[in-house]
Structure 1
């Protein structure tokens, strides 16, 4: 090989290496090597479809982060079990609003908290149930959502779907079950439960009883954004930096005040 051809070959190798670096590392413009898929569920008022448009506090935070890092992505709303499965098994999937539990910790790459949450086991004011602790709930039928953190928490505490738990894909359906007496209890985030009651034309202070506060789910730090395990660390870091930026520049606080 002549000196000229050797220099030419080295030059091509260096250019390819440079191109690869530019492709896999997000730059100032937030370009990603591969497009990301963003998935969520109908969890009002955090994420919800209104008049054909996906909105909610968590959705607006995610959209603000996407804008901050200059990444375009379409957000898809679907049943939680499907969204959860996609985020577990497909690369480059961003999921929200997801609670960060010890059991889920190694399953995802976590971006950060996007909304606070408080969890309760509710009963109906028409049929109030007094619970001293979680064990007392075993004597009653509890409505859950398939694969959501409330259901996973109860299953981890030896509750069984089809026995003590009635699982569905919609939070609104669980409220209906509770009010019509098809179940005795309902595990839900507080804002979600109150929002659904109001959407049904009810006053949650009159129709819902907070039978037991679920402190264990509050200690996890609220709702999060998280990436599937097959996502590159560079992409995760980009979104972590983006979330930090909107917290520091006031964007996050403005969104939170809007939905308070």
Structure 2
């Protein structure tokens, strides 16, 4: 065999191996038929009712799974655990998660699934007034561990254990507010109203929107993957979400819950 022929065979072999590698990666990405899905107790977007995880965000994720023919293994866990697990493992989806500057490079974002608007709430009976967010530093605020509200306030100079009182569950903060253990509650508007109603109270009578937090409002709650998940898997979910927004399923779910 000549040197030229040997080089040609070697070159063809290398090209075949490279092609097989690319094919294997593509097949692997497309062949993911089961995804681990993590969420938290955050009604009305995601919560457990009679042993079943439901809510607006949950139903949107389920619609996407049906659209792309993928099974989802849903689990509700404390938010800090869901947040860390998604970042450290491949093929783990998290929802409903707010997109922020601090989180931007930590996740691969699929797309928004529910609306969101954040406020600092007080009890109407307390008659709290704030001229700016800076004024809130003199008060005690109920937050949830690693939630977007807590992360944002920390980024603005608030401190855990000083003026932020962190909990593991959202409903605990409404209890703290009623008991006078905190002065303010940072929370999504729809979620706050839902929890107040679940507690048997009327939001219009109980809550005062003291200050809207514009920096974390308006963009919506997302579904997202950690950086270890292949781009092809993320893109598959993006296409599924786009599809249900085009075929009317997404709008129907929004009307059902909101």
Common fold by TM > 0.5 = yes
Pick from 222, 225, 234 the counterpart of residue 223 of structure 2.
Answer: 225
Cross-structure match for 2:97: 98
- How far 1:19 sits from its partner (Å)? 6.5
Distance 1:152 1:22, change over 3 A: closer
Partner Cα separation in structure 1 for residue 36 and residue 95 of structure 2:
11
Partner Cα separation in structure 2 for residue 135 and residue 249 of structure 1:
45
Deviations 1:111-161 (A, max 9, x none): 000011111000112212101110110110000000000000000001000
Partner Cα separation in structure 2 for residue 106 and residue 16 of structure 1:
31
Deviations 1:191-232 (A, max 9, x none): 01000000000001001111101111114x110000011000
- How far 1:86 sits from its partner (Å)? 0.6
Give the match's secondary structure for 2:160: coil
Cross-structure match for 2:149: 150
- Pair 1:187-2:186 in alignment: yes
- How far 1:16 sits from its partner (Å)? 5.9
Partner Cα separation in structure 2 for residue 15 and residue 207 of structure 1:
64
Partner Cα separation in structure 1 for residue 157 and residue 20 of structure 2:
55
Distance 1:14 1:215, change over 3 A: closer
Cross-structure match for 1:117: 116
- Pair 1:257-2:242 in alignment: no
Distance 1:135 1:199, change over 3 A: same
- Pair 1:139-2:138 in alignment: yes
Deviations 1:47-69 (A, max 9, x none): 01111111000000000001111
- How far 1:15 sits from its partner (Å)? 10
Cross-structure match for 2:64: 65
- 8 Å contact 2:177–2:185 — kept in the other structure? yes
Counterpart mapping for 1:9-20 below 5 A: 20=24
- Pair 1:40-2:15 in alignment: no
Distance 1:227 1:130, change over 3 A: same
Counterpart mapping for 1:173-184 below 5 A: 173-184=172-183
Give the match's secondary structure for 1:238: helix
Give the match's secondary structure for 1:36: strand
Partner Cα separation in structure 2 for residue 21 and residue 196 of structure 1:
45
Task: Report how many residues are paired.
Answer: 247
Give the match's secondary structure for 2:125: coil
Partner Cα separation in structure 1 for residue 87 and residue 29 of structure 2:
23
Cross-structure match for 1:55: 54
Please, what is the CA RMSD of the aligned residues? 2.0
Give the match's secondary structure for 1:73: strand
TM-score, normalised to structure 2, is 0.91
- How far 1:13 sits from its partner (Å)? 6.6
Cross-structure match for 2:28: 24
Give the match's secondary structure for 1:202: coil
Partner Cα separation in structure 2 for residue 224 and residue 14 of structure 1:
36
Cross-structure match for 1:199: 198
The answer for unaligned runs of 5 or more in structure 2 is: 2-8
- How far 1:91 sits from its partner (Å)? 1.5
Give the match's secondary structure for 1:194: helix
- How far 1:21 sits from its partner (Å)? 5.1
